[in-house]
Every structure is written in structure tokens, then in C-alpha cells.
Amino acid sequence: MKWFYLSLVAAFFTSLSDVFNKMVLTKVDEWLVIWLDLWITVPFLLLFLKYFPFTFPSLKVFMVILQLLPLEITAYYLYMKAIRVSPLSLTIPFLAFTPVFTIVTAGIILKEGISSSGVVGVLLVSTGAYLLNGERMLKEPLAPIKAIFHVPGSRYMLTVAIIYAVTSTLGKKAVLLSDPFSFGLVYITCQAVVLTMINSFRLARNPSLLRALKNRKIWKFILGAGCSMAVMVVAHFSAIQLAPVSYMISVKRLSLVISVIFGWLVFREEHILYRLLGASLMMCGVVLLYLS
């Protein structure tokens, strides 16, 4: 059962990273937060080289990474924008739609199908998304559905879910050509390098962007986010080597519910019962999709 506890650790630190990032995003823009998160994560991952075998990826893996980078960076930016402008409890659960959209991408790229339990999973995810805005249905039955597209953070995170459906499928292809740790380390480093180029250009044009980083209080949240992300990645890789991927990811998706609870405890977000129920249904749907 060691994989189960490691998966829980990955779920918890995924949500904790989001909490720290949301705090930082009140002072620092999305591009800088992504950049700092990645460069804090890389050194932590290097510490685990003695525990995980590292194989330098082949040219085929790098070709997949080239396809992934623009999608992943776009998704990362929208992810940060979503948690900055909207409540955690109303944005993070929309990541549950990733396996729903993956059904389409996996069918096209990997020629994979869907079982009857997978159909039930899709219905649970959709019902859960409806309940996230459940307080609105008292005024109008279709209001929760309209809210999904009217709330900026929900729109952004739904777009992220669509992009992740593509990147998760391509990422699976890359892992099959390499191994989880080697691919993860190289992939995150490549993202950090690209973000360095993007931010170098932005800072050359507007040096005042760095002004916010002079606030020492911000750095404890930045370090917290980077360290949480590093722990999540290591726990993820450790768990995925001990159990089937579908089992591990299913447990890790508890982060949907944990984020809703954090939203309530840390940011005092409202309508928590609707959002907790919605996130729980979405998580159950995700579990069915991964296990189908």
C-alpha cells in the first residue's frame, strides 16, 4: 500500500502548491510565478538522482517534448490566471474534465476506446461540474451551466483541461519511450529554459516587473510553491513505479477535493457545500474513467 500513501502525498502537495501560488499571484504576474516555480523545482529533483535511474532521452522523446512545450506552457499560464482571478473551489475541479477530453484524444492518437463504466464516469464529472455552481439553480435550472462560461476562472481551467487531454496523451507516449523520472526531469528543465527566454524578453522591455520580487514576504510563498511542486513530482514518480498508472492517478485526483477544502479554510470561499459535493462527484467520475 506504499503507492497509495505516496499518491495521497502527491495529491496534498499539488493542492498546497496551488494555495501558495494563489497567494503569490496577488503581487506577481503569471509568467514570473511559473518561471520561479519551475526553477525552484529543478534543483529539488536533482537531489533524487541517486534514488532514481536516469537515462538521457532519445531524439524521439525530444521530438515529443517539442510538441508538448507550447501546449504545456500555454496551459500553465492559463492555470495560474484561473486561480488568480477566481476561487480555487470553483476552478481546480474543472481539471476533472481532462480524462473526459482524453477519451477523444486517446481515441485519435492511441486508438483507445471507452467502456460502460467510462460512460458513467463522464456523467458523474458532468453532474459534478453542474453542482459547483449549484447555488444558482434555485433561480434558474440552467444557471449553473451558464456560470461555467461566465466565470473567467472556470473558462480558463476548462481550456487547461482540454490542453491537458492532449499533453497527457503525448506525455504517455514520451514516458513509454523513456521512463517517468528521466522524462519528468528533462521536461521540467526544458520548460524552465523556455520560460527563462520568455521572461528575459519581457524584463528587457519592462524591468519594473521585478519590483514585486523585492517583497521578502512574497518569497516564502514562492519557495513554498516550488518545494510543494518538487515533493509532488517525487511522490508521483515514486508511486507510479509501485502501482498501475490508473490506480495512482485516481488517488492523486483527490487533489480536486483537497483544493476545495483549502479554498474554504485559507481563502474563506463561499458556497462550499455545493462545491465540495460537486468536486467529490467529479473525483468519483475520474476514478471510474481511470479504472475503466
pLDDT tens, 49-65? Answer: 888 888 888 999 999 99
158/148 Cα distance (integer angstroms): 9
10/21 Cα distance (integer angstroms): 16
- E strand or H helix at 243, and its extent? none
Rounded alpha-carbon distances, angstroms, from residue 225 to 2, 13, 25, 112: 25, 9, 11, 35
Confidence check: pLDDT of 234 > 60: yes
Cell 490506480 belongs to 247
Find the mean pLDDT for residues 252-275. Answer: 86
188-225 exposure pattern, b = at least 16 Cβ within 10 A, e = fewer: bbbbbebbeeebeeeeeeeeeeeeeeeeeebeebbebb
Poorest-confidence range of 41-45, 51-55, 147-151? 147-151
3-class SS string, 100-153: HHHHHHHHHHCCCCCCHHHHHHHHHHHHHHHHHCHHHHHCCCCHHHHHHHHCHH
Split at pLDDT 50, 70, 90, the class of 12 is: very high
Q: Which three cell numbers stand for residue 49?
A: 538522482
Q: Where are the domains of the chain?
A: 2-291
pLDDT tens, 196-228? Answer: 999 999 998 888 888 878 877 888 898 899 889
| pTM assigned to the model | 0.85
